[in-house]
């Protein structure tokens, strides 16, 4: 960003030092691009810092009436909103992290809208609850198995490639997602600039080739750990990997833990735990721009989000270049090469983007979502 030129009370011009393609797909459409009252923020915070969960003003048809962490968020009509009347007097949002529990709550009539787990999707499509619409949406999320390149057991690229080739992705998806998820080719999903048509390592892997890489490394009787969150999906992924790698002589110990503990594993701010990290199952949300799906593997992210501790001068060069290209075809080539570099390091085995199925009670509402299934409460309408 170079500067912002103010033309009048309602018009401003954002001036960049160079073209910045993510401005239109990430920066402006999402929270970072929201226009807020500087006077109100300064009055509420004194120094312009984060105002937390007590915003000084609301600009939409709903306001936050109550928020209790891990219990509920209550939205009510904004009394000073002058636009179209919102659909409901109140919307209560419940943070249920276990999708299976949410499905049970929906069946019991306690919820009117919820996500659906992929291993339940076929059942709900075939036999939905009364007055229920089931929708399938593509997901921007990416799920993969990463490896800590600086761990002594994984420093040799031949060991990492043996693990890459020893993992059969379709088998994992059949077990963890009931066959309802498609194989990913990288971090960028179909429909987003930079998506690769295929990965360098075939989805099924190759056990014979995996064993050849272990021989090149001169390694036998290798024992490694794989960390994951303790939800059923990621635990199943880890268990299938454990079984698959046993076929090439690698013993895998599974460390499943709650998300709060897991999320800190690769953080240098938490001490030296990252040094013991070996294999891990990661699942990240994303946005519809290739920079967002690749920037967290830069050198600057080592010790925070780059748990693989991947580093590449070429990757840095391409990342800097990619945000300045406005031609989508030329931009795609940059991000395809970046994903090639990730995979060539041996530290990544891409699994899936998952899917975002939802269901809602048609006797109560007409739900609205983004293309990726995220609910848009402002546009929920009564029936």
Per-residue pLDDT of the chain (383 residues; tens, 9 = 90+): 899 999 998 899 999 999 999 999 999 998 888 888 888 888 888 888 888 777 888 889 999 999 999 999 999 999 999 999 999 999 999 999 889 999 999 999 999 999 999 989 999 999 999 999 999 999 999 999 999 999 999 999 999 999 999 999 999 999 999 999 999 999 999 999 999 999 999 999 999 999 999 999 999 999 999 999 998 899 999 999 999 999 999 999 999 999 999 999 999 999 999 999 999 999 999 999 999 999 999 999 999 999 999 999 999 999 999 999 999 999 999 999 999 999 999 999 999 999 999 999 999 999 999 999 999 999 999 99
User: Residue 164's closest CA among 354, 353, 343, 352?
Assistant: 343
- Residue 140: the pLDDT is 96
User: Residue 142's closest CA among 308, 293, 332?
Assistant: 293
Q: Residue 7: count other Cβ atoms within 10 Å of its Cβ.
A: 8
- The DSSP 8-state label assigned to residue 21 in this structure reads G
CA distance 361 to 172: 32
Percentage helix, strand, coil for the chain under 3-state DSSP, each rounded to 5: 35, 20, 45
Name, in order, each residue with C-beta under 8 angstroms of 245's C-beta and a sequence gap of 6 or more.
163, 166, 167, 224, 251, 252
Q: Residue 27: count other Cβ atoms within 10 Å of its Cβ.
A: 17
CA distance 295 to 305: 10
- Residue 165: the pLDDT is 99
The structure tokens listed for 379 are 């546009």
* 142-352 CATH choice from 3.30.70.260, 3.90.1640.10, 3.10.105.10, 3.30.470.10: 3.10.105.10
CA distance 109 to 165: 46
Query: What burial class does residue 92 get, using C-beta atoms within 10 Å of its C-beta: 0-12 exposed, 13-18 middle, 19+ buried?
Result: middle
pTM (global) more than 0.75: yes
Domain extent listing, the chain: 1-44, 142-352
Residue 192 phi, psi dihedral angles, 5° rounding: -110, 140
- Residue 37: the pLDDT is 82
The structure tokens listed for 168 are 């059969």
- Residue 8: the pLDDT is 95
- Residue 79: the pLDDT is 95
- Residue 383: the pLDDT is 95
Q: Region of 14 please: left (phi>0), alpha (psi -120 to 50) or beta.
A: beta
- Residue 41: the pLDDT is 86
- Residue 39: the pLDDT is 86
Angle at 372 between CA 322 and CA 315, to 5 degrees: 20
Q: Which ranges constitute the DSSP H helices of the chain? A: 38-45, 99-107, 118-126, 157-166, 169-177, 207-217, 232-246, 259-262, 273-276, 313-322, 328-344
CA distance 153 to 225: 10
Contact (CB, 8 A) for 196 and 362:
no
- Residue 92: the pLDDT is 98
- Residue 49: the pLDDT is 84
- Residue 98: the pLDDT is 87
Q: Residue 158: count other Cβ atoms within 10 Å of its Cβ.
A: 15
Question: How far does Cα 171 stand from its chain's mean position?
Answer: 22
User: Residue 265's closest CA among 35, 257, 244?
Assistant: 257
- Residue 144: the pLDDT is 99
- Residue 171: the pLDDT is 98
Q: Quick check: helix, strand or coil at residue 124?
A: helix
Q: Residue 371: count other Cβ atoms within 10 Å of its Cβ.
A: 11
The structure tokens listed for 104 are 């049970």
Q: Quick check: helix, strand or coil at residue 34?
A: coil
CA distance 225 to 223: 7
- Residue 170: the pLDDT is 98
């Amino acid at each position: 960003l170079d500067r912002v030129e103010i033309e009048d009370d309602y018009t401003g011009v954002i001036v960049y030092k160079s073209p910045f393609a993510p401005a239109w797909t990430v920066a402006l459409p999402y929270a970072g691009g929201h226009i807020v009252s500087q006077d109100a923020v300064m009055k509420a915070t004194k120094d312009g810092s984060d105002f937390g969960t007590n915003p000084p003003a609301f600009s939409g048809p709903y306001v936050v009436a109550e928020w209790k962490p891990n219990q509920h968020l209550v939205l009510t009509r904004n009394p000073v909103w002058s636009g179209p009347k919102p659909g409901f007097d109140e919307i209560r949002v419940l943070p249920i992290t276990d999708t299976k529990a949410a499905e049970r709550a929906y069946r019991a009539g306690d919820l009117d809208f919820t996500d659906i787990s992929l291993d339940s999707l076929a059942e709900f499509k075939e036999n939905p609850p009364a007055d229920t619409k089931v929708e399938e949406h593509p997901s921007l999320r990416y799920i993969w198995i990463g490896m800590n390149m600086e761990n002594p057991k994984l420093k040799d690229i031949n060991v990492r490639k043996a693990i890459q080739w020893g993992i059969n992705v379709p088998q994992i998806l059949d077990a963890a997602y009931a066959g309802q998820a498609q194989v990913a080719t990288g971090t960028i999903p179909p429909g987003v600039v930079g998506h690769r048509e295929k990965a360098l390592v075939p989805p099924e892997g190759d056990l014979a080739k995996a064993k050849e890489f272990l021989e090149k490394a001169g390694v036998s009787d290798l024992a490694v750990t794989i960390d994951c969150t303790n939800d059923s999906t990621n635990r199943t992924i880890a268990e299938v990997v454990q079984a698959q790698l046993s076929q090439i002589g690698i013993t895998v110990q599974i460390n499943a833990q709650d998300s709060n503990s897991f999320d800190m594993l690769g953080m240098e701010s938490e001490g030296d735990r990252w040094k013991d990290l070996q294999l891990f199952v990661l699942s990240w949300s994303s946005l519809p721009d290739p920079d967002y799906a690749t920037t967290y593997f830069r050198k600057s992210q080592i010790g925070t989000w780059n748990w693989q501790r991947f580093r590449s001068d070429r990757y840095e060069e391409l990342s800097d270049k990619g945000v300045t290209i406005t031609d989508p075809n030329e931009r795609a080539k940059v991000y395809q090469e970046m994903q090639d570099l990730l995979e060539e390091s041996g530290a990544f085995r891409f699994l899936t983007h998952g899917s975002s199925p939802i269901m809602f009670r048609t006797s109560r509402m007409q739900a609205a979502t983004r293309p990726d299934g995220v609910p848009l409460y402002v546009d929920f309408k009564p029936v």
